[in-house]
Structures are given as C-alpha cells and as structure tokens.
C-alpha cells in the first residue's frame, strides 16, 4: 500500500515503515554484466539500491512467467533470496478472510448489514464503541470507526522490545478488549480509517456463524480448492517454512538491522494478518478471485464496491478500498486489485489486473527506520507494479 495496508498502527507505522541505509548487496547472480537487464530486474535492483536487503518478484501474464531477485536472503551468509520462497503476507490475509465471509453471505448464512452485536453480543462495548451500530460491511471496509489494537501490543518499539515480546500470544477476544479501551475514531459509516481490530472481529464472526475457526474455513474454502499448497495458516507457530529469506527491521534511523524472521506473535497471529504464502500462490489466489472463481458474481461485486481512501493516509491518488480488496490506478489507464501487507521486517505487494490475466507480487525482506526511506521504497514498489502491469498490457518487455 502506499496505502501500506499495515497491520501496524499509524503512529507505529511511521517509525516502522521506513529506511534501511543503503545496504549495497549484489544483484541476482546469473545476469552477466554484458546482458541488458529486463525492466523487472532493473526495478528489483532499484529497491536494493534504496536499502532493501532482499527483493523477490513474480510476474505472470498471458505471455508467461517472469521472476526477478535482488540483494541477499541472509546478511550473514550473503546467500541469494530463494526462488519462490515462503514469505509472511501480513494484511494480505484480510482478503482471504473477507472472501470467506462473502461466501457465507452468498450461502445466506449472514448479511453484510448484520450488526456485530447480532453475532458477537456485547463484545464491542466501552468508551463509546457499540457493536449494535456497527455492521459487518463497515468492518470489512474500515468504515466502522473502531480503534486499532496494534498500539497496545507493541509496548516497546525497539529491537529489545521485539525480542522480549515476540512470543506473547493473545486471543482474539483479548485483542478486541485492548481496542475497546479507546474511543472510536468516528461514528460508524461516517468516515474511513484502517483498523486491524475490524478483521479480528470478522474472524470471530466466521467462527460464530460456522462453528469453525477462520483458519479452518480458509483452508477448506480457498486453499484446498485452489490447491494453494504453499500457503500456510500457522496460528501461533512463529517459524517460517523453508526455503525463505531472512527478514530485517531497522527500529530507528541509522540503527542496526535486527533479524525479525521469527514472527511477532502479538500481531502476527490472527485474522488481520497471520498467513504465510509464496509469490506464486499469492498471484494464483488474486487471479482466481478477480476472475470470479471463488465468489459468486453478486458477492464479488460487493467486494469491489469501493470508497475513496483519504489523501492524508498516504495512498496513491485515486486509491479506493473495497471489502478486503483495494483498487489502485495505473499510469496506462485502468487499475489493479490487491491488498498489501507488512510487519516487522517484511512487506508484500500483490497486484492483479481487473480481468485477472496478469498478476505481480513484490516481496521485500526488510523495513527501514526512517520515514524518508520508507516513502522512497513504497514509491519504488508502486512504480515497479505499474511498470510490470502496463508492460504486460501493452506488449512491452517487463
């Protein structure tokens, strides 16, 4: 997201969302100096040169599949980023969870205009929050006004704080309870503001409606039918499967890079951002979604019914938010659907054309500690996606 669909609160994200002092590591081995680099590789190298330790990307178009890597997958060994390695997808999890809820709507098991209180009586209460006035649609679209719990589970934004608190686990109910200690940002339906609490509640609603956890429903309804065999719902298991690049977080400007490959369980373990995947599986999911292979046409239309994302959120001009799915304009006309995700040391940015014919997922394996670098890196990512999808449409060479 430039809208970085961060699961980290806005005040925390400003610190997390940015800058690695240029770690000048070699580009992907195999492209000889005398061989002209593809635009895909040049864009991957631009991210490396802007301080990202490791970059991996997969572009799928009607003309085939292209991949690129840059930087290293491990600062200690300088091993390359693995091909199609496992990556944390953070808030991209929200699109999977929203898809399950919309399937339940299509089955007549609940309505988007149901209130939270109809499914979770008394859970959303306190300091002006009232689940009797918040609908499921508002949760999905971040128009609920409910406060974000993330700031409450990051008591010490530092390398020492990460190490001390990363093993702490919370239930969904506890996460919501943290949020209820704060007043709402606005009256439900009157504005837009990203809140991870919304999707923790959606996960709880899925369990109330089906009798099964959101994880069970995602596996049964999406992962198995689509054969996404490299997509994992790990719960509170904090270790990435092999192969994977290591993730690194710079907690302060100019500071050292801290290895954050182990999940930060206080916010890496729920329906707002727990999942692990690969660039190949992520592309496959989003292409199937926008092609109407997972949702009925009525529910896909609801998912793609968008509202404007406020300009002060940092999104690209024209960015709009649907129900767990974002729309971003392309410089060549039209736009793409996706939902990015990030956390300590990682960012993933999937993007799929409206017809589902082309898809690209960019994965970064480090996050910087200053706002300026963060802004540049997000700009690099959005330019990367724009180049890739516009070239695939126009017949150019990505």
Under DSSP, the state recorded for 329 is E
User: What is the three-state SS of 44-62?
Assistant: HHHHHHCCCCEEEEEEEEC
For the chain, percent helix, then strand, then coil, each to nearest 5? 35, 15, 50
| Active-site residue flag, 91 | yes
- Burial-class residue 384 by CB neighbours within 10 Å (0-12, 13-18, 19+): buried
Catalytic residue among 2, 70, 91, 144: 91
Map tokens 């959101």 to a residue.
214
- Burial-class residue 84 by CB neighbours within 10 Å (0-12, 13-18, 19+): middle
Tokens of 361: 């997922």
Cα(136)–Cα(157) distance, rounded to whole angstroms?
A: 32
Q: How many residues does the chain have?
A: 398
Cα(114)–Cα(209) distance, rounded to whole angstroms?
A: 12
Cα(155)–Cα(165) distance, rounded to whole angstroms?
A: 8
Map tokens 């994965």 to a residue.
363
- Burial-class residue 397 by CB neighbours within 10 Å (0-12, 13-18, 19+): exposed
Cα(180)–Cα(55) distance, rounded to whole angstroms?
A: 38
Q: Which residues are catalytic, by number?
A: 91
């Amino acid at each position: 997201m430039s809208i970085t669909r961060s699961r980290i609160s806005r005040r925390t994200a400003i610190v997390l969302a940015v800058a690695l002092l240029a770690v000048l590591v070699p580009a992907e081995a195999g492209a000889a100096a005398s061989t002209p680099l593809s635009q895909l590789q040049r864009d991957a190298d631009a991210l490396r040169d802007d301080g990202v330790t490791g970059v991996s990307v997969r572009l799928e178009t009607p003309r085939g599949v292209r991949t690129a890597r840059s930087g290293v997958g491990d600062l200690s060994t300088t091993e390359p980023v693995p091909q199609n390695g496992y990556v944390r997808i953070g808030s991209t999890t929200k699109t999977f969870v929203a898809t399950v809820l919309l399937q339940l709507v299509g089955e007549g098991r609940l309505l988007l205009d149901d209130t939270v209180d109809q499914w979770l009586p008394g859970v959303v209460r306190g300091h002006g929050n009232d689940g009797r006035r918040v609908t499921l649609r508002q949760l999905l679209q971040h128009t609920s006004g409910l406060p974000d719990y993330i700031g409450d589970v990051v008591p010490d934004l530092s390398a020492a704080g990460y190490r001390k608190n990363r093993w702490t686990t919370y239930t969904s109910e506890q996460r919501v309870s943290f949020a209820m200690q704060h007043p709402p940002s606005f009256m439900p339906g009157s504005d837009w503001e990203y809140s991870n609490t919304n999707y923790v509640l959606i996960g709880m609603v899925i369990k109330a409606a089906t009798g099964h956890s959101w994880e069970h429903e995602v596996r049964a309804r999406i992962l198995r039918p689509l054969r996404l065999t490299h997509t994992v719902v790990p719960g509170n298991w904090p270790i990435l499967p092999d192969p994977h690049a290591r993730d690194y977080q710079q907690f302060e400007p100019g500071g050292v890079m801290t290895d954050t490959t182990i999940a930060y369980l206080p916010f890496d373990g729920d329906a707002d951002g727990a999942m692990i995947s690969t660039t190949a599986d992520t592309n496959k999911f989003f292409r199937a979604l926008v092609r109407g292979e997972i949702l009925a046409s009525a529910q896909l239309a609801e998912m793609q019914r968008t509202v404007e994302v406020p300009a002060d959120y940092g999104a690209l001009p024209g960015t709009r938010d649907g129900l767990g799915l974002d729309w971003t304009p392309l410089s060549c006309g039209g736009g793409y659907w996706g939902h990015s995700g990030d956390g300590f040391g990682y960012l993933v940015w999937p993007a799929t054309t409206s017809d589902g014919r082309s898809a690209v997922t960019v994965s970064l394996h480090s996050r910087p500690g200053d706002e300026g670098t963060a802004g540049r890196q997000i700009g690099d990512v959005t330019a990367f996606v724009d180049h890739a999808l516009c070239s695939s449409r126009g017949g150019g060479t990505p």
